[in-house]
Amino acid sequence: MRISKIGLSVALALGLSMSAQAADVEVLHYWTSGGEAKSVAELKKMLEEKGHGWKDFAVAGGGGESAMTVLKSRVVSGNPPAAAQIKGPSIQEWGEEGVLANIDSVAKAEGWDALLPSVVSDVMKYNGEYVAVPVNVHRVNWMWANPEVFRKAGATVPTTWDEFFVAADKIKAAGMTAVAHGGQPWQDATTFESVVLGVGGAEFYNQAFVKLDPEAIKSPTMIKALNTFRKIKAYTDEGAPGRDWNLATAMVIKGEAGMQFMGDWAKGEFTAAGKKPGADYICAAAPGTSNAYTFNIDSFVMFDLDNKELEEGQNDLASTILSPEFQEVFNLNKGSVPARLNLSMSKFDDCAKLSSVDFVSSSIDKTLVPSMAHGMSTFSAVQGAISDAVTEFYNNDSVTAEAAADKMVNAIAAAQ
Amino acid sequence: MNVSSSSRQSLGTLLPKIVVAPTFVVTLVFIYGFMLWNAWLSFSSSRMLPKYDWAGFIQYEKLFANDRWWVAAQNLLVFGGLFIVICLLVGLFLAIFLDQKIRAEGAIRTIYLYPMALSFIVTGTVWKWILNPELGIQRMVREMGFESFSFDWLVNADMAIYTVVLAGVWQSSGFVMALCLAGLRGVDENVVKAARVDGASMPLIYRRIIIPGLGPVFFSALIVLTHIAIKSFDLIVALTGGGPGYATDVPATFMYTYSFTRGQIGLGSAASMMMLMAVVAIIVPYLYSELRERKQ
């Protein structure tokens, strides 16, 4: 018995090391939490079915910051992984370094242009050719609400910012926290971009955060958005600064707080707590943004390798990632929706169904906008500059909205 | 004969050099070499990845025009100044009290020195919980019945930097105490006895005789505390995360943010050069005075 066990493990070890000797596709990612790790295991299985080895290169922590640091050192030393999880305009930055592999042949063969909304496929291309493949679409402009809190306070779930403050006042008067907020710069920026979208609309949002137009940023609309944003602070609790987003979500789950502004990864927390959408929690677009959609798309970028044997593995990986099977199983685990259009959403919950419908309709209405707070609309330097101005304004009451807007313009100019 | 003895002699003089050589090379490359590399980057236009071109002082110009940098620099002054002064004072008084031949001195000494054994990450996390208004002191006092009690330094952008001082002092004053205690133990008993015979009071003896005699101890403590302050990174990350907003940013966290998460390596390098200059400004006079003393 014992011997056979040892024999088995030796055989396994041999088998593993042998499969590691065949050219493996090394994939750098930062999906290490429960649901995410499950999704990655699925991808690994699918790739292995196509006859490629998978070499896992997971770097946890910091929303990918640590992973990016490791990636830079690998690329600088001339030894990049086959694929890495990189998103948004950073793809262009990497493209300019001239280190990416072209996967246009797969994209052409499978007709990706028809499968993806153009807003998404533009992000995946460098110089008009595909270098990256999208995995999922997160909607950022969500508002998560606890219906029990609203019922107790006699408030209704708001659809405009004016209604929001009425409802927030009622919740506050009933002795509960109206808004569960985590006071970290990226969370401040997440809430802020929803306010800008709600107050100014998608066109204004694009003008300010994608085109970085100084006129738009200094306009009365932006001043109004800034003042609305700061007004929210009065409805948060004292423990908010520095709080992690999932702890803020927990406040909504436990009924200590009425609502939270956060992307749809918050849904994972509700699901893990055994809550049902519609009954135990409400997912609604942030006030004034129901016809718009701020997207945050995770994607994998392929690197140009010396070992050309791996090219086929990279192409198969790209094709697998965009396959309907993977898109479905991955996004069921992750809480996001498939990037690929026209997939059946029957297995998804109501929040994801709403997200998917809005994704399609907003892409037709041109109200599908990239998330500034999550680095989808600008390079990271500019994103940081905006985020600095926003978070300083929110935390320091002596800064006026006009001064914050001026600061934003100057900081953006300095960062470019 | 002659040859072999000279070769043996040269081996005798060479051997220490050979043994030390690897360390020397490693230090040269990994400390001074990287300093130079960093200096080069700070004059380049590097953004996401290092680039080796010449961009002049543009990164420094950008740095000095950056509001956040000045917040960070000012925080370092506030934090560094208070941290060093309070640590020295608290450490000195603890040492003086411990030196009164009290019972269980060993145990008490260990208790005060123990925070030093923790990492700044642990210290920061613990103090974050203690100072959080919804979890720690404020809540405890309010639950005791003082409803209007307020202690929200951690979440107040104007006061948050002082919580960093508090946690830093808690961690490091035990270290100063140990240094001072060693210094106090080195004071000649006879001098103290003679002073007492002359009718001097104990406070006077401490003020005029013992504490001035601790000069070198203070100096060592000052050097160590100063570079802890300039390098401080982990304490801030754990305690405030640089927040609220970026109110408690210091040059080290600033440098990390710009170099590694915002793809502005050139700007980050310029910031670290400024930190290096701050350290140099302190170390060079120290080395100079040390070397001059040795010459005399």
Q: For residue range B201-245, list pLDDT tens digits in order.
A: 888 888 888 888 888 889 889 988 988 898 889 999 999 888 788
B244 and A395: CB-CB below 8 Å? yes
For chains A and B, CB pairs below 8 A equal 92
A237 and B68: CB-CB below 8 Å? no
B247 and A396: CB-CB below 8 Å? yes
Nearest Cα of chain B lies from the Cα of A57 at a distance, in angstroms, of 19
Please return the burial class of B197, using the count of CB atoms within 10 Å of its CB with bins 0-12, 13-18 and 19+.
exposed
Confidence of residue B6 (pLDDT cuts 50, 70, 90): low
Nearest Cα of chain B lies from the Cα of A223 at a distance, in angstroms, of 19
> What's the total number of domains in chain B?
1
Chain A CB contacts of B135 below 8 Å: 239
List C-alpha distances in Å: A158 to A212, A231, A254: 30, 16, 20
Which of A286, A293, A254, A294 has its CA nearest to residue A270?
A: A254
Q: Is residue B250 part of a domain?
A: yes
In A, minimum Cα distance to B156 occurs at A395
Structure tokens belonging to residue A163: 């209604």
B243 and A184: CB-CB below 8 Å? yes
* pLDDT score for B283: 81
Residues of B with CB under 8 A from a CB of A: 47-50, 62, 65-68, 128, 132-135, 138, 152, 154-155, 157, 240-241, 243-247, 257-258, 260-264
Nearest Cα of chain B lies from the Cα of A238 at a distance, in angstroms, of 6
In A, minimum Cα distance to B240 occurs at A242
Chain A CB contacts of B241 below 8 Å: 184, 242
Of A381, A384, A392, the CB nearest to B245: A392
Chain B CB contacts of A240 below 8 Å: 155
A185 and B245: CB-CB below 8 Å? yes
Of B50, B62, B133, the CB nearest to A238: B133
Chain A CB contacts of B257 below 8 Å: 384
B65 and A414: CB-CB below 8 Å? yes
Chain A CB contacts of B137 below 8 Å: none
A241 and B243: CB-CB below 8 Å? yes
Amino acid at A394: Y
Chain A CB contacts of B258 below 8 Å: 384
* pLDDT score for A8: 46
Q: What's the CATH code, domain A23-138+295-354? A: 3.40.190.10
Of B132, B157, B261, the CB nearest to A396: B157
Chain B CB contacts of A63 below 8 Å: none
Nearest Cα of chain B lies from the Cα of A52 at a distance, in angstroms, of 31
Q: What superfamily in CATH does domain A142-293+367-415 come from?
A: Periplasmic binding protein-like II (3.40.190.10)
Mutate: best of B44, B45, B49, B161, partner A, most A CBs <10 A: B49
Amino acid at B42: S
pTM comes to: 0.84
Chain A CB contacts of B68 below 8 Å: 388
Q: Considering chain B, what is the average pLDDT of its residues?
A: 88
A183 and B155: CB-CB below 8 Å? yes
- Model confidence pLDDT, tens digit, residues B182-195: 998 888 888 888 98
CA–CA dist A94, A100 (Å, integer): 7
Residues of A with CB under 8 A from a CB of B: 62, 65, 68-69, 72, 75-76, 90, 93-94, 97, 183-185, 188, 237-242, 379-381, 383-384, 388, 391-392, 394-396, 407, 411, 414-415
The answer, yes or no, to whether the previous bond of A287 is cis (omega within 30 of 0) is: no
Which of B247, B183, B253 has its CA nearest to residue B212?
A: B183
Q: Is residue B13 part of a domain?
A: no
Quick count: other Cβ atoms within 10 Å of Cβ A181? 29
- Model confidence pLDDT, tens digit, residues B30-89: 999 999 999 999 999 888 888 888 888 999 999 998 889 999 999 999 999 999 999 999
Containing structural domain, residue B254: 67-295
Q: Is residue B185 part of a domain?
A: yes
CA–CA dist A352, A354 (Å, integer): 5
Nearest Cα of chain A lies from the Cα of B155 at a distance, in angstroms, of 6
A381 and B152: CB-CB below 8 Å? no
pLDDT in tens, chain A (416 residues): 444 454 445 444 444 444 444 578 899 998 877 767 888 888 899 989 888 889 888 888 656 778 888 898 888 888 899 999 998 888 998 998 889 999 998 999 999 999 888 888 889 999 999 999 999 899 999 999 999 999 999 999 999 999 999 999 999 999 999 999 998 889 999 999 999 999 999 999 999 999 999 999 999 999 999 999 999 999 999 888 888 888 999 999 999 999 999 998 888 888 888 888 888 999 999 999 989 999 999 999 999 988 878 888 899 999 999 999 899 988 888 888 998 888 888 888 888 999 999 998 998 888 999 999 998 998 888 999 999 999 999 988 889 999 999 999 999 988 87
A414 and B62: CB-CB below 8 Å? yes
A381 and B262: CB-CB below 8 Å? yes
CATH number at residue B108: 1.10.3720.10
- State mean pLDDT over B166-178: 92
Structure tokens belonging to residue A249: 């979500």
Hey, where are the domains in chain A?
A: 23-138+295-354, 142-293+367-415
Q: Is residue B31 part of a domain?
A: no
Chain B CB contacts of A185 below 8 Å: 243, 245-246
Nearest Cα of chain A lies from the Cα of B227 at a distance, in angstroms, of 26
